[in-house]
Amino acid sequence: MTAPNPEQLVVAICAPLEPELVEQIRSGSPEVTVLYEPELLPPERFPADHSGDPDFQRSAEQQERYWANIRRADVLYGLPDESPAGLARAVRENPRLRWVHAMAAGAGGSVRAAELTPEELARVTVTTSAGVHALPLAEFALMGLLNGFKRVAELQADQRAQRWPTPRVPTRLLSGSRLVIAGLGEIGVETARLAKALGMSVSGSKREVTPITGIDSVVPNSGLPGLVSEADAVVSTLPGTPYTEHLFDAEMFSHFKPGTVFVNVGRGSVVDEAALLSALDDGTVSYACLDVFEQEPLPGSSPLWKHPRVLVSPHTSALSLAENRLIAERFSSNLALFRAGKTMPHAVDPVYFY
């Protein structure tokens, strides 16, 4: 990457962000012009609400100012209007644009949906906030494992019914159990760290197979059937790509041991929900903790809502009060690399969109 002229570098803030964090970005790179007009951005409804209030509308004059800032920028903080269409428009209307930092960890799907040409993908680097969400997602995954091993769904059902079962049913120990993590990226490795602290042995999959300290076995996704056949629990942190779509289908679930606990904090497209429901109903999966779904919001007609051994989370497991600060710090770190012409981490692959 050729180092840009810092005196000419312009950053436009396209996503809702607290003024103090904007000032943090400015103070870290005083030579950079940071365009920030909060009245042009939809207000947050909750912390780290990157899309903002859906009822927010700009006047015609405000819309022109918003896009004038984008057309002037070398760098964008956030996808314009948090949409693939906004990204495509920005790339095509601004020939000086070189870098877009996305708020999401899994922004590859948005980049793919923008349908940029190979030349546009070569010109504009899109980086993600992957890693910022690793700890909250890993903690959520551990909660799902504990819920399944400790029979929390059954305990809650007994409590609602004021039932004291006889004989009482024992729970399972995480310690000594075997966990398989599909997707040993930053989220998967952080999940493995927490699981190993509780005494679990961990294996998993990775697109580029390399040894990972503390992981018993690392295989490509094609090797998952052999791993899950020995697993007590499976966690998916996989992104949504054409190569992972419905990876967890009826064939994959047929390799699970009866009673396997399943957690998905990656992308909903990785799981065939009809196959998962069949696996739940026949006892192959004893409990499923799901933060992501094939269609979001999850339709009211989905049987997952009312299944007694499923936890439905509305794609919120990555959210934390510290998220905006952590993303701003990541952006500032990347900005220093960008200005120096160095490679930035977590760039979206223009072929795999991962």
115 is catalytic: no
Catalytic residue from among 98, 267, 307, 330: 267
For residues 191 and 324, give the distance between their C-alpha atoms in angstroms, rounded to a whole number. 22
Mean pLDDT of the chain: 95
Catalytic residue from among 207, 315, 329, 339: 315
> pLDDT, tens digit, for every residue of 89-107?
999 999 999 999 999 887 9
pLDDT for 1 beyond 70: no
> pLDDT, tens digit, for every residue of 105-145?
879 999 999 999 999 999 999 999 988 999 999 999 999 99
Quick one: which of 16, 22, 11 has its CA closest to 81?
A: 16
Are 352 and 108 contacting, i.e. CB atoms less than 8 angstroms apart? yes
Confidence band, pLDDT 50/70/90 cuts, at residue 44: very high
Torsion of CA 75, 79, 80, 82, to 10 degrees: -160
Intra-chain end-to-end CA distance of the chain, in Å: 20
Q: How many CB atoms lie within 10 A of CB 142?
A: 21
> pLDDT, tens digit, for every residue of 263-310?
999 999 999 999 999 999 999 999 999 999 999 999 999 999 999 999
Torsion of CA 76, 110, 84, 116, to 10 degrees: 90
Q: How many CB atoms lie within 10 A of CB 41?
A: 20
Are 272 and 248 contacting, i.e. CB atoms less than 8 angstroms apart? yes
Quick one: which of 172, 180, 223 has its CA closest to 201?
A: 180
At residue 354, the pLDDT reads 83
Q: Mean per-residue pLDDT for 194-206?
A: 98
Are 149 and 177 contacting, i.e. CB atoms less than 8 angstroms apart? yes
At residue 163, the pLDDT reads 96
315 is catalytic: yes
Domains and CATH numbers, the chain: 10-132+321-339 (3.40.50.720), 134-312 (3.40.50.720)
296 is catalytic: yes
> pLDDT, tens digit, for every residue of 213-259?
999 999 999 999 999 999 999 999 999 989 999 999 999 999 999 99
> Is the backbone of residue 86 left (phi > 0), alpha (psi -120 to 50) or beta?
alpha
